[in-house]
Structure 1
C-alpha cells in the first residue's frame, strides 16, 4: 500500500478527474453524480472549509481530491479501504475526507430544505399537487425510510427493526416537484413510522397549530369546507390534517377505491424520492458500517444534495434524466427508471 500511495506522483485522482472531464460520454457526471460546473461551484464554496496545509513531511491532499473521494463514497457505497486503492491515500484519510466534506456541505446547503412559513407557500404546494397528481388540498407526501446500519455498540435492540435489521429512520415530507420540504433523521429503527413522526418538529408544530396551514376551503362542485392535508400510508394515524387510505379492499369504480387510487398516486411521490436517492447515492444500497450519528450525517448530506441537484440547471439532467419518474398513461402507471 505504501508503494501504491507513492505512485500518486505519477498519476493521482486529480489527473483522473481531468481525464474524466475530457471524456465526451458523461463519465465525469457518472463518477461524481453532478456536472463539472456544479463540482467547481462546490469547490469554491467548501474549499476554504476542507483545505489542509502542506507540512515538512508531506504535501496536503488537494481539495478537489478530498471532495471527489467523498462524492465517490456517497455514489458507490464502497468501503473506505476500497476507495483508498483508487485514490491512493490511506483508509483513515478517506474517512476523514468524507466527513470533512459532509460537514462542509451541510453548512453551505442548510437552506436547501425549507418548510413553508406562510399559508401562501403551503397553498402553492397544494396547487402543484392538484395540477400534477390530481389530488387537491395536498401539502406534501409523508413517509419514513429505514437506513440500514451495522449493529451499534451496546445498543441491544434499540435500533432493531421489524425487517430484522438495524436501522435509523429518515422521516420525510416532499412536494410535488420531488424535493424535500422537511426531513428528520436518526430515530431508532425499532420505532414505528407513526411513532417517529410524533417525535418530529413537524408534528409538534402541526399539533400546536403553528404551521400556518391555509384555512379550509370548498372543492369544486361542493359547498363543504375541506382541510388541507398531508398524505401518508396506513402506518400513520388519521388526523384532521393527515390523510390516509380507506382500510380494506373495495370494488372497482367505488368512491373508496377511486379515493385510495388518487391518494396513493399522490403519496407515491415520496417513494419515488427515496428510490431516486438510492439509485444515485448507492451508499443506501448496503448497510452503512458506521455508528448512528455518523450515518445520520451521511443521510443528511444526501438529502441536501438531492434538493440542490434537483434544482440545478446543469445537473438536473444528470440526477433525474427524462424517464426517471413514474407517469400516467390511459389511467395506468408507467414506472420510472
Structure 2
C-alpha cells in the first residue's frame, strides 16, 4: 500500500474513529489504529505482534479491532460489493481465466482465525482447538486482488 493510499483511507475513517481527548489521556491516532489492525489481519500473527511494533497494549488492540473493522465496512461498503448480475459474474470468471488461467473461477477465498476474548455464556462456541477463542474472518477476492 502506498503512503498516499494509506493517508486517503485514514482521512475517510477519521470521522468514524476519532476520539476526544480527556484529562486522563490522549486518544490513539486513527492512522496508528489502522496500521496496527492492517498488520494484524495481514500477518495472521497474534495480538502481541502489533503490540510490540506499534507500542500499544494487546488489550487495547482487542478493544479497537472491531471498531476499526466496522468503520472500514461502513466507509467502503460501496467498494466492497459483489457482482449482482449474471453478466458481471461472467466478467469475473473471464478475468480469472485470462489473467490466472483458472477457468470458471468466481473468487479466491481465504480465512483466518481472529483471536478474541471469550464472550460470556457461549460455552465452547468460539473455542478454537489450538487453545484460544476466535472468530473466523473469511475474505473473497477477484482476479484483480479486490475484496
- TM-score interval for Structure 1 and Structure 2 normalised by the shorter chain: 0.5 to 0.7
Q: 1:98 aligns with which of 61, 65, 89?
A: 65
Residue aligning to 1:38: 5
1:93 to partner: Cα distance = 1.4
Query: Given the superposition, is the C-alpha separation of residues 130 and 149 from structure 1 closer, same or farther in structure 2, using an over 3 Å criterion?
Result: closer
Q: Does 1:310 align with 2:113?
A: no
**Partners in 2 of 1:120 and 1:113 — Cα distance?**
18
**Partners in 2 of 1:77 and 1:148 — Cα distance?**
8
Q: 1:71 aligns with which of 38, 48, 71?
A: 38
1:126 to partner: Cα distance = 4.6
**Partners in 1 of 2:23 and 2:102 — Cα distance?**
65
Q: Larger RCO: Structure 1 or Structure 2 (Cα < 8 Å, ≥ 6 residues apart)?
A: 1
Q: 1:154 aligns with which of 123, 137, 141?
A: 123
What CA RMSD, in Å, does the superposition of the two structures yield over aligned residues? 3.6
Structure with max Cα Rg: 1
Query: Given the superposition, is the C-alpha separation of residues 79 and 118 from structure 1 closer, same or farther in structure 2, using an over 3 Å criterion?
Result: closer
1:57 to partner: Cα distance = 1.4
**Partners in 2 of 1:47 and 1:111 — Cα distance?**
18
**Partners in 1 of 2:84 and 2:48 — Cα distance?**
44
Query: Given the superposition, is the C-alpha separation of residues 125 and 107 from structure 1 closer, same or farther in structure 2, using an over 3 Å criterion?
Result: same
1:146 to partner: Cα distance = 6.2
**Partners in 1 of 2:48 and 2:28 — Cα distance?**
17
**Partners in 1 of 2:114 and 2:41 — Cα distance?**
15
TM-score scaled by structure 2? 0.67
What's the CA shift string for 1:93-140, capped at 9, x where partnerless?
1222222211111212323343333333233345445545384xx3x3
1:141 to partner: Cα distance = 4.3
**Partners in 2 of 1:111 and 1:36 — Cα distance?**
22
1:83 to partner: Cα distance = 3.0
Query: Given the superposition, is the C-alpha separation of residues 65 and 115 from structure 1 closer, same or farther in structure 2, using an over 3 Å criterion?
Result: closer
Decide whether the 8 Å contact of 2:44 with 2:112 is kept in 1.
no
Gaps of 5+ in 2: none
Q: 1:60 aligns with which of 14, 17, 27?
A: 27
Residue aligning to 1:114: 81
* Aligned 1:234-245 pairs, distance under 5 A: none
Decide whether the 8 Å contact of 1:73 with 1:98 is kept in 2.
no
Decide whether the 8 Å contact of 1:52 with 1:60 is kept in 2.
yes
**Partners in 2 of 1:68 and 1:52 — Cα distance?**
17
**Partners in 2 of 1:130 and 1:89 — Cα distance?**
43
